[in-house]
């Protein structure tokens, strides 16, 4: 669903590439670890040090890539559509290869990676199925696909992905709303098996950092699915 139907902020809205190009300078400092790393830390079924190759889909500045490398992932590649974000990722020196491209059509070889990771990006694509199918194609049998995103609750509440520019103006990035059932249906059609699922709420620790979020106390801010590719042969 198009987010515009639910928008109650009416910020100036940019395309994904334009928006992240403008956000790049402050991105790492304005996305809280509680948004995604707290969820990643809950994963029980993936032994990170046994992941020999991983792909960071929509790698951006490499923020998530650093987390993966710290867990012990051996070889990490990244792909993104915003060159300015990728330039920052390159400086972190954590990626074996960085590719400028579309996460729904990576052109990577089949069965290449033991893990595909996609964090805070699915809310920018109109349909989930191409992403789930592409991840299924490039992940090895018994490999994993982690998809972590901005919770549809906030999008349905009219709050888009947004940031403040250098003048302090709030800028939105084009969003789409995907329900949890949309994820499940797209995953099932691509032969993924669900192994874990978590949601992050706006708790007391979050409000301590952002007191103006008190109205959203105990509301879900992010979610994560962990899917496993079963051997379909």
Per-residue pLDDT for the chain (233 aa), expressed as one digit of tens each? Answer: 999 999 999 999 999 999 999 999 999 999 999 999 999 999 999 999 999 999 999 999 999 999 999 999 999 999 999 999 999 999 999 999 999 999 999 999 999 999 999 999 999 999 999 999 999 999 999 999 999 999 999 999 999 999 999 999 999 999 999 999 999 999 999 999 999 999 999 999 999 999 999 999 999 999 999 999 986 55
Q: Around Cβ 77, how many Cβ atoms within 10 Å?
A: 20
Domain of residue 77 covers 3-229
Distance CA 202, CA 157 (A): 14
- Who's near 22: CB < 8 A, 6+ residues apart? 14, 163, 165, 171
Q: Which runs of consecutive H residues, i.e. helices, occur in 31-81?
A: 33-40, 63-71
Closest CA to 154 of 225, 210, 223: 223
- Total structural domains within the chain: 1
Q: What is the CATH number of the domain that holds 27?
A: 3.40.50.150
Predicted structure pTM score = 0.97
Confirm if 51 and 69 have CB atoms less than 8 A apart. Answer: no
Counting other chains too, the contacts that 90-99 makes at CB distance below 8 Å and 24 or more residues apart are: 90/62, 92/61, 92/62, 92/65, 92/66, 94/62, 94/65, 94/66, 94/69, 95/56, 95/59, 95/62, 95/65, 98/59
- Who's near 87: CB < 8 A, 6+ residues apart? none
For residue 25, what are the CA distances in angstroms to 16, 85, 123? Answer: 15, 9, 21
What pLDDT score was predicted for residue 232? 57
């Amino acid at each position: 669903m198009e987010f515009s139907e639910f928008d109650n902020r009416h910020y100036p809205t940019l395309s994904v590439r334009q928006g992240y190009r403008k956000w790049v300078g402050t991105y790492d400092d304005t996305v809280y670890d509680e948004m995604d790393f707290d969820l990643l830390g809950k994963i029980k079924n993936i032994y990170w040090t046994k992941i020999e190759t991983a792909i960071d889909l929509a790698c951006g500045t490499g923020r998530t890539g650093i987390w993966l490398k710290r867990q012990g992932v051996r070889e990490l590649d990244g792909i993104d559509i915003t060159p300015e974000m990728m330039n920052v990722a390159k400086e972190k020196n954590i990626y074996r290869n960085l590719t400028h491209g579309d996460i729904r059509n990576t052109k990577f070889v089949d069965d290449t990676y033991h893990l595909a990771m996609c964090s805070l990006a699915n809310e920018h694509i109109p349909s989930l199925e191409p992403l789930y199918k592409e991840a299924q194609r490039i992940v090895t049998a018994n490999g994993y696909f982690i998809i972590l995103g901005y919770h549809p609750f906030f999008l349905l509440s009219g709050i888009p992905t947004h940031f403040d520019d250098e003048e302090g103006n709030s800028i939105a990035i084009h969003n789409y709303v995907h329900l949890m059932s949309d994820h499940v249906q797209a995953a099932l059609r691509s032969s993924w098996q669900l192994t874990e699922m978590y949601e992050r709420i706006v708790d007391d620790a979050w409000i301590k950092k952002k007191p103006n979020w008190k109205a959203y106390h105990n509301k879900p801010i992010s979610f994560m699915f962990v899917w496993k590719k079963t051997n379909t042969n």
